[in-house]
Structure 1
Amino acid sequence: MPLLVMKFGGTSVADLERIRNAAGKVQREVERGYDVIVIVSAMSGKTNELVGWVEQTSPLFDAREYDAVVSSGENVTAGLMSLTLQEMGVPARSWQGWQVPINTTDAHSAARFVDIPRDNIDRKFAEGFKVAVIAGFQGIGPDGRITTLGRGGSDTTAVAFAAAFGAERCDIYTDVDGIYTTDPRITNKARKLEKIAFEEMLELASLGAKVLQTRSVELAMRYKVRLRVLSSFEETDENSGTLVCDEDEIMESKVVNGVAYSREEAKITLVTVEDRPGISAAIFAPLADAGVNVDMIVQNISEKDYDDHPGSVTDMTFSVPINQVERARKVMEEARAAGHIAYEELIADTEVAKVSVVGIGMRSATGVAARMFRALADENINIKVIATSEIKISVLIERKYMELAVQALHDAFGLEAA
């Protein structure tokens, strides 16, 4: 039988009524002739509650026990979904990660997939079961202990199963009806996209769009898994939602397909850093070791001595998530105290936001940056940092202008038009 993977997020299974609604969607796909693998998240708010209990019990918790506790939310949902489907007359069986088994690395709370053997689930399908309900977000490590995949891990679970079982498609059901050109809460001109390329979606997800988890898009792109994002709360058909697919499936793409933003950004500048070979490694290696997520990097023009001998200096600017500023500051101070780097001052600006335009059409178009910068200039918005890639241009600006910038760029690139 053709196989479909359907994933339901926390808001889609928030209570018994919503679980019945989701089960109805699964039932319709079974009636269309599919065998279905359903991936479920914990009921909305449950994971946060479980994490809170762990932190109250043991502030310096054992990561193995943390995973044992927080993975239980998905187990409850999987069992309830399977029971609901059985009540509807659909042969279904629930599976926890260790029962599949979903084999992962031993990095508790941040595990990655190793493999997903098909034998156990294929055997159940052969026995006449039509639906396998899988607890998302979890697996089993080499030591036999439960592992979890980090926030958003159920999306990644769904894509991994679609790849392992050669699914026709992976449908991600959520509380929005697709992927938009930008956040509809910022501009009512935002338009739902029928299709978007993997690369575009990966950039949008990494730049702040929260519809899909970044790792799930990476996995889908690697294994060419066709993703569809659609609403749990609307009637849907084969044309509903947004299809995330290979760019070969998209006849013609706009130069820019979306505007993304991230509010929680900070800009750090190291003033008068010694300008010598290896200084960048001396700065960014310890930041990486400390888990600081550095994004945009700009090295300013060096101030050379007149005779151009060693001893020149430069300023190094980079962006980090706002909640990692103090960690970055501590790492830099320790590196300076150890004599690995030298700088006069560390300046942190925590009132910035990142705004980006994304589109695979940029590869063959000219003037995109000029149009972007002109649109911001017309609104009197100053750019602090610029970073580019083949299909993306990002800028750091003052946070108070973020929504205005998103609206201006959405208009400048005509994204409201199909």
Structure 2
Amino acid sequence: MDFDYSPKVKELQKRLNAFMDEHVYPNEKAFFAEIAENRAKGDAWIPTKVMEDLKQKAKAAGLWNLFLPESKNGAGLTNLEYAPLCEIMGRAGWAAEAFNCSAPDTGNMETLERYASEELKEKWLKPLLEGEIRSCFAMTEPAVASSDATNIESRIVRDGDHYVINGRKWWSSGANDPRCKVFIFMGKTDPDNPNKHKQQSMIVVPRDTPGVTIVRPLPVFGFDDAPHGHGETLFENVRVPVSNILLGEGRGFEIAQGRLGPGRIHHCMRLIGLAERALEKMCQRTLKRVAFGKPIAEQTVTLERIAEARIMIDQARFLVLNAADMMDKVGNKAALKEIGMIKVAAPNMACKVIDWAIQAHGGGGVADEFLAHAYANARTLRIADGPDEVHRNQVGKLELAKYKPAKPAQ
């Protein structure tokens, strides 16, 4: 692949960096302060004025829905073109929402764009694209090891002109957000199908449907991530029209692969932006602090860590760009190994770099709000969208397959 960005991407990078410098970084403290103020008043789940103002500014600047590839609704960028923009947004863990480019809405919008009926697109995709509402993706379950998605037990049962949905989900991203108006739910429509990957389906569930209950918000290392967050959700005899099914019964895994491939590019590039900023903070801090008669930056261990961080970040970036390029050229399925590799490499790299940055700050490192949030985010992404172990197994099997004898023709 050609690692030089196109003029179109360079121009967007310039505009996006300028927006971050002018509007996002100066508002970081105000954003978290507003959430803290709402929490002190008894309700942290109130959308912040800071974010809503930033959204209007991003829209006016033409920096909106950048993630949608080859779409009349977005910027028409490929995965490779969008990746470096995602890195810039990732430098502040909360910033992507300002551009309507945050999870799980990006994945849900892509899913609706590709697989929903025109009626569903009009009802749900349109307000999501405008940033008027938010959404939730309900897949993971507390009762089973959801890293093997064939374990999922929730049921979607046909009853005349409706489907009846029952199940308990958790880590349902965005479920607690009062702006969340729609779920995309994964469950079994055909649990007896001998093909385990044909048992599952995905269906659209309006948030206000009777039987949908938000059980509790789930904290990550003590952070509730309000006003968005992650929830445990209960679906009890939830009835939705048959027309809400996406693509048809038994197509859930097919949809998941189409949804999760681009999502992993987004997550990994945001992590690279996060790690870059952690390295910047590490360098700035160690140049100022003196220990044993000289700046910490001049201590051999610090120099080694700074050099290793630089190497690891650049390695991860090239891996992710290569995966994005392959997805654009040969599709998600053919790029399966490359997608699995980045999902292991990027979160592990970010965890290590952020950990070194924390260490370089001394006691202040564990109190630093940016570093604490960054580490919690990076560590979580070693589990979210498939844990390291699953991706390593997949990469290992694909690598071994090159050395196994070909099966004889039937």
Please indicate, yes or no, whether the TM-score normalized by the shorter chain is above 0.5: no
More helix by share: 2
More strand by share: 1
**Normalization by structure 2: what TM-score?**
0.25
**Normalization by structure 1: what TM-score?**
0.25
